[in-house]
Amino acid sequence: MLGFVKWGRQHMPRLNWLWHFYSGKSGIGRFVQTSFLFYGGLTTLLLTFFSIRFDVFDGTLGARSSEICLSSALARFRAA
């Protein structure tokens, strides 16, 4: 039995369904999978928030696509 399951059964008996889910032979696998899903979702949420907040989600490092199109058009105009 996992240590946190033993602790949880003693201190939070109302969550018996959760301790039953994480106990037994497959409990460690379920715990690892739950951890990956939780932390994967959390990091995806944080990365999405900060990329939108700092305007770097499209690979242009903050420049708007209209600005990129305008600057490339001006560069072609000057080269001609």
pLDDT at 74 over 80: no
Which residues, 6+ apart, have CB-to-CB distance to 56 below 8 Å? 62
The pLDDT of residue 43 is 96
Q: Where are the domains positioned within the chain?
A: 3-79
Q: How confident is the model at residue 1 (pLDDT cuts 50, 70, 90)?
A: low
> pLDDT digits over 20-73, tens only?
999 988 999 999 999 999 999 999 999 988 888 877 766 666 666 555 566 666
The pLDDT of residue 17 is 95
